Chain A
């Protein structure tokens, strides 16, 4: 009956999972490949960029063995663009997640094709969305966690002072939290639904899960008796309807 933890991942767990995200680093020292459970890390040779999991990148950064290249979407210009989109252009929805990786079509100029053939390869956890190659202007699934970690530990690698990025990030968090709060207001009338949660990050979900589920559950309980009445009516009047349908099927 009473579970010790609410459903879903907690914030600490989300932050832990986010450390698997790949980020781009510029190594300062040579390092041979390490055989990790998740696969071999690339060999690090100083002037060449490499992609490492966030936790390893932060470790090397703290030991001053590497610099982290912040993902393009964390650039102030990109953040400003996203905030503008969230507040002015489309204040009703969250900004969309990054598009699947694609490359210009070799024979047909102006057309692009997706790199991955199946959808399984491009869903958020497996898509390298925090590397230097990630598109600007789109927030990946683990945007808040990665951004906070990078700001806290690799603030000197940012192209602009970290404080500037941080204040933009705070604005974005507030704007989206307000949207999350109002996302349930469409449940007001019958037949209304939740606002689409496409593009919401893992940390935001962890924060608002309890609240949103609570509201939905409350609305369900309030509407339970009306729903039961409606069902009964439908069943009473629906018997004939079902017969009609099956007759149609027979006719075909």
Chain B
């Protein structure tokens, strides 16, 4: 991930649910209580970069029983929550993951770096690969103007019904959009070449 990678910067801005483990004076405005103390156990959504810092930073032990405690403890964001994971396990193609987060995979990989989630990795891998096949199928057919009448290979896909295909494409996150673009560029260049052969 490059320093100037816009997607990486935007991923850092995703909100993560955090639980404060200390009373923090004068931070009450985060909970709409200006001027008050933020109580231990308060749940606030913090951007990923801040949550990471606060979760890793060592407080150095303010009280005697606080040794090794960090400022906040974070949970998985709702986009990676149990509901979504169960739904992805059932059918990876049925969920518009862009509605969960526009940077779904990059958020997920970041969270996996921070905390150990072996099951998350397995589910995501299956999801990504399954959806990639579907993406390639759409990429080959999209923008072709219906010029290529299909062979037997397309049967059973939800292409041609229009609405379903479009809906799927709208649900792609940034990684998948890039993938779609790559696949589509390849297919389009191939088509252009094939049409250009006669003019040579």
The answer to whether A and B interact is yes
Are A211 and B186 touching (Cβ within 8 A)? yes
Bound Cα distance A181, B157 (Å) = 13
Are A210 and B182 touching (Cβ within 8 A)? yes
Task: Enumerate chain A residues within 8 angstroms of B183, measured Cβ to Cβ.
Answer: 208, 210-211, 214
Report the minimal beta-carbon distance from A232 to chain B, rounded to whole angstroms.
11
- Tally of contacts, chain A with chain B, CB under 8 A: 121
- Which residue of A has the minimal Cβ distance to B1? A221
Stretch of A44-52, A74-82, A223-231 lying at the B interface: A223-231
Task: Enumerate chain A residues within 8 angstroms of B126, measured Cβ to Cβ.
Answer: 188-189
Bound Cα distance A110, B199 (Å) = 48
Bound Cα distance A170, B72 (Å) = 60
Are B198 and A203 touching (Cβ within 8 A)? no
Are B109 and A206 touching (Cβ within 8 A)? no
B32 within 8 A of A: no
- Which residue of A has the minimal Cβ distance to B185? A210
Stretch of A10-18, A97-105, A115-123 lying at the B interface: A10-18
Are A178 and B153 touching (Cβ within 8 A)? yes
Bound Cα distance A207, B194 (Å) = 12
Task: Enumerate chain A residues within 8 angstroms of B133, measured Cβ to Cβ.
Answer: 181-182, 184-185
Are A171 and B125 touching (Cβ within 8 A)? no
Are B198 and A152 touching (Cβ within 8 A)? yes
How many residues of B are counted as interface, with CB atoms below 8 angstroms from the partner's CB atoms? 42
Report the minimal beta-carbon distance from A214 to chain B, rounded to whole angstroms.
4
Within 8 A of A (CB), among B150-198: 150-153, 175, 178-179, 182-183, 185-187, 189-190, 192-194, 197-198
Task: Enumerate chain B residues within 8 angstroms of A219, measured Cβ to Cβ.
Answer: 125, 128-129
Are B128 and A218 touching (Cβ within 8 A)? yes
Task: Enumerate chain B residues within 8 angstroms of A177, measured Cβ to Cβ.
Answer: 140, 153
Task: Enumerate chain B residues within 8 angstroms of A197, measured Cβ to Cβ.
Answer: none
Bound Cα distance A101, B116 (Å) = 55
Dominant secondary structure at the B interface: helix
B63 within 8 A of A: no
Report the minimal beta-carbon distance from B200 to chain A, rounded to whole angstroms.
8
B97 within 8 A of A: no
**B129 in complex: contacting residue of A171, A188, A211, A229, CB < 8 Å:** A188
Report the minimal beta-carbon distance from B129 to chain A, rounded to whole angstroms.
5
Bound Cα distance A223, B116 (Å) = 12
**A184 in complex: contacting residue of B112, B129, B139, B192, CB < 8 Å:** B129
Report the minimal beta-carbon distance from B137 to chain A, rounded to whole angstroms.
6
Task: Enumerate chain A residues within 8 angstroms of B198, measured Cβ to Cβ.
Answer: 152-153
Within 8 A of A (CB), among B111-137: 112-113, 116, 118, 121-122, 124-126, 128-130, 132-133, 136-137
A215 within 8 A of B: yes
Bound Cα distance A189, B122 (Å) = 7
User: What are 15 inter-chain pairs, A to B, with CB distance below 8 A?
Assistant: A6-B185, A15-B197, A87-B152, A149-B200, A171-B151, A175-B151, A190-B122, A203-B190, A206-B186, A206-B190, A207-B189, A213-B182, A221-B105, A222-B105, A222-B125
